[in-house]
Structure 1
Amino acid sequence: MKIAGWDNTPIISSGSGTKKVVQFAPEATIMDYPEIDLFGYLKTTAKTEEAKGGSNKRAAVVRLSNAIALEPFNGDLDYMTNMGLSVRDKDTQNSIAQSEIHKSFYTYTITIDLDKVGIDGDIEIENIEKANRVKQFLDQVEFLYRDIKGRRENMSPVFAIGGIYERKNPYFENRLKFSYKNNLAIECLGEILEDDDVKKNTSIGCLSDILANENDIKTKLPNVGTINKFFINLKAEVDNYYE
């Protein structure tokens, strides 16, 4: 959200005593806050003498599947101490901590219901703003990263497949796997692409020198380009959709 330049949706703490929940402010709408436009909300109000209370919710139009590792976890551990501080006092007790480490390729699916972006009850934003919000989100996916325990981890995709389709079906969910180490299984993808709607509207991006069977991917699957080209094509299709 920070990179996209989106404002944080205001929040409130509602409830009484120790039974309080943090939620989006009731007055916040999708007109001003892309976060709740794309990812939805649940707002509840307590019953009072003046109001009956209740809830107001919006389902997410951007949905993310679980990220599934394509390689097994081998039980690797990282051992840590706070030695840099403990050496300042020889009488300090300093224990060793450990954390699990898993280095692997992961696969996940993102779906966006373009028909519902920017529409919430009586509120509807202009099509150009709908397109901008979706494209800004796609920019974040292309250059995805995460700060983990003092490290900035690069989580940008090395392989991407998808498009804008008539049928709202996540065609490629749970379809990406390795046939063996670093070799992407492409036979299944080829069969999915036999459908006219899928083949016509699908783009593929592949980062060079990462997957072992890169040559097979680029020769046996259609419309394979770079990751950057994949996102450029997808954003162009978003613009066309909202024209």
Structure 2
Amino acid sequence: MKIKKALTLTVVANMTSNYSEGLGNIASVQKIFKNRKVYTIRSRESLKNAIMVQSGMYDDLQTEVDGATQKMANENLNASNCRALEGGYMSTKGTTYIRKSSFYLTDAISCESFVNETRFHNNLYLANNAAKSKNINLQEKAGEAGLMPYQYEYDKSFKIYSITIDLEMIGKDENFKQEEGYKEADNKEKADRINSILDAVENLSLTVKGNLDNSEPIFIVGGLSDKKTHYFENVVKVEEDKLIISEDLKDKIEKGYHVGLLEGKALKNENEIKAELNPISITKFFDNVRNEVKTYFNV
């Protein structure tokens, strides 16, 4: 019997991209180039930060400045008793300590190549209010009133990303030892940390340019695995708003993994997905995986 070592999920979600460098008053979304086309992304760093914040894993975060701003980590505050350090850290204050993250994300990459949709805005109301308070003519002294037009690229589309959690590393900090070995959280804390991350993925919400973005899973596949890798990364594909149901995808699922689907016709071949993959609801999917995590840690 193969021993479970990881929890791996691959998600299809309708989400916005995050922004990269701006040029003057023009903001552009992050992009990558592959297959001779340009695709928008939400970077793994942006995703990880959102998940850490929304899961509550950053609630006990402490930072310090030692040349660079970094997470505080020491003998008394480490990954065994501080959830914020579960995502990895490097502390250079005094002795340098490095602990890798116990979970990994891929970039969330758009399923379709980028088509530029530019949005144009201005702060006319605020500038007009300032002009009134200064008793000046807005058209004649727009600069003095602070009138500023701006524009940005906008993208909200189906994106696919994967997350894999190392079950053997969660809650452990090998930088610091105690009598029984390395400092380590108890099993209940380990399960709670993983399930907090799952809660965040299930209800992921992003704030982009002042707008609330529901980034919950439309389709999800995965579960506990004996392989520490993004097991479904190469077989979950969406083209023209249809999930590609390949033999490889079905073969991988049959090795003991779960499939979840959010019904609502977001994916055009919803009926085919139901017939071929026999998915459960997104809510049941996460309930099942959370229960598997609790069983794994005997809590």
**Residue 92 (structure 1) aligns with:** 142
Residue 65 of structure 1 corresponds to: 106
Distance in 2 separating the partners of 1:158 and 1:32 = 34
User: Counterpart in 2 of 1:176?
Assistant: 236
Partner of 2:83: 34
User: RCO higher in 1 or 2 (8 Å CA, sep ≥ 6)?
Assistant: 2
Counterpart in the other structure of 2:92: 44
Q: Give RMSD over aligned pairs.
A: 1.7
* Residue 134 in structure 1 maps to residue 201 in structure 2: no
Structure-1 residue corresponding to 2:63: 11
Q: Is the 8 A contact 2:60 2:83 kept in 1?
A: no
1:230 aligned counterpart, secondary structure: helix
Helix, strand or coil for the counterpart of 1:133? helix
AA matched with 1:212: K
Q: TM-score, normalised by structure 1?
A: 0.86
- The Cα of 1:174 is off from its aligned counterpart by 3.4
Runs (4+) of structure 1 exceeding 6 A deviation are none
Partner of residue 221, structure 1: 277
| Cα displacement (A) at 1:5 | 4.2
Shift of 1:194: 2.1
C-alpha distance after superposition, 1:73-93 (max 9, x if no partner): 111101010001122312223
TM-score of the pair, normalised by structure 2: 0.71
Choose between structure 1 and 2: higher strand proportion.
2
2:70 counterpart (23, 28, 38): 23
For structure 1, list consecutive stretches of 5 or more residues without a partner in the other structure: 15-19, 46-52
Q: C-alpha displacement at 1:146, in angstroms?
A: 1.1
Residue deviations 1:79-137 (CA, integer Å, cap 9, x gap):
01000112231222323211001121000000001111111121111111111110011
Which segments of 5 or more consecutive residues in structure 2 lack a partner in the other structure?
1-51, 132-137, 175-181
The residue aligned with 1:147 is 207
Larger displacement relative to structure 2 (73-82 or 1-10): 1-10
Cα distance in 2 for partners of 1:119, 1:111 equals 17
1:171-199 Cα deviation digits (max 9, x unpaired):
211332223x1111111xx324325xx52
